[in-house]
């Protein structure tokens, strides 16, 4: 009798595991719209959210709190998802004598599309576009629309070690030499190594770069560490630490955050 050929396991992007689909954790005030190369299946809803607290101690103490940083992803067609990041609450608390005043407001919302172009056992890839209208308030809105496009790639080197990168090209808004806000082009690549400590816990290390921090400021560099833990197949939690190694003002800034990824309406 001829033995049956073993059925190969499904590729990662069709597996019902929240950590394989997660765009977060990621750097920045808003939830990443690049992140994982994977997308939601048709009629599947993925909810990602979290909070972030950034501090700067020099030249004076300033704290920036952001949250909830929510990102909703829905499969609208095979290999295609629609993502929406609603405005997040933002607050800045400044000590007396700080260069900034205390302020409150909301960030701009983000809309995104991501299309899966490759899903194999050891490699996944997607492309995405995002648009952010000036819907925020106070000092936390760009005041002008911004756009971006991205290419996302994930490669597994074995059962424990994997690598992912997002190459993002887009626009941002910042003050020029006359202190007037204007739109400028940015290139923002990120590189992430993930190591599976055990079957449910993963350590992530990421470098996130940006070509310019404003029209008159040089490039930026953020380092990021996160611990991610799966709770079953549909829920994952993360605890994050971030350090801005090239801040626009003052000493290096650091931030902590935590959040979750939940497959709220599975289609698997």
State pLDDT tens for residues 159-177.
899 999 999 999 999 888 8
Q: How far is CA 201 from CA 51, 188, 191, 232, in A?
A: 20, 28, 20, 12
Mean pLDDT value of segment 196-225: 88
> Is the domain defined by 12-265 classed in CATH 3.40.50.720?
no
* Residue 238 or 251, more confident: 238
User: How do the domains of the chain map onto residue ranges?
Assistant: 12-265
Q: Provide the pLDDT confidence category of residue 218 given band limits of 50, 70 and 90.
A: confident
Determine the Cα–Cα distance for residues 205 and 203; give it in Å rounded to an integer.
Answer: 7
123-82-265 Cα angle (round to 5): 85
Most confident of 20-24, 62-66, 86-90, 251-255: 86-90
Determine the Cα–Cα distance for residues 54 and 56; give it in Å rounded to an integer.
Answer: 7
What is the average pLDDT score of the chain? 86
* Residue 111 or 217, more confident: 111
Dmax (CA) for the chain in angstroms is 83
Tens of pLDDT, residues 173-185:
988 888 888 999 9
Residue that is written with structure tokens 């590189």 in the block: 191
Q: Provide the pLDDT confidence category of residue 33 given band limits of 50, 70 and 90.
A: very low
The number of residues in the chain equals 268
Mean pLDDT value of segment 146-158: 92
Most confident of 75-84, 87-96, 236-245: 75-84
Q: Is the pLDDT of residue 27 over 90?
A: no
pLDDT confidence of residue 5: 59
């Amino acid at each position: 009798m001829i033995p049956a050929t073993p059925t190969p396991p499904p590729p990662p992007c069709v597996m019902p595991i929240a950590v394989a689909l997660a765009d977060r954790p990621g750097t920045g005030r808003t939830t990443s719209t690049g992140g994982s190369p994977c997308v939601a299946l048709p009629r599947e809803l993925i909810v990602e959210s979290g909070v972030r607290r950034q501090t700067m101690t020099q030249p004076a103490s300033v704290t920036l709190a952001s949250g909830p940083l929510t990102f909703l992803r829905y499969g609208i067609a095979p290999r295609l998802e629609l993502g929406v990041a609603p405005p997040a609450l933002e607050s800045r608390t400044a000590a007396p004598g700080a260069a900034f005043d205390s302020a409150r407001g909301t960030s701009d919302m983000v809309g995104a599309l991501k299309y899966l172009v490759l899903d194999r056992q050891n490699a996944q890839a997607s492309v995405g576009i995002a648009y952010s209208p000036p819907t925020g308030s106070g000092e936390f809105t760009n005041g002008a629309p911004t756009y971006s496009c991205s290419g996302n790639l994930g490669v597994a080197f074995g059962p424990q070690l994997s690598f992912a990168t997002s190459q993002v090209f887009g626009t941002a808004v910042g003050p020029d030499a006359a202190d007037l806000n204007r739109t400028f082009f940015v290139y923002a690549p990120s590189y992430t190594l993930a190591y599976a400590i055990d079957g449910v816990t993963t350590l992530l290390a990421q470098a996130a770069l940006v070509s310019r921090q404003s029209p008159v400021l040089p490039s930026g560099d953020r380092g990021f560490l996160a611990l991610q833990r799966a709770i079953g197949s549909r829920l994952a939690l993360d605890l994050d630490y971030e350090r801005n190694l090239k801040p626009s003002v003052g000493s290096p800034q650091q931030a902590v955050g935590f959040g979750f990824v939940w497959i709220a309406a599975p289609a698997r």
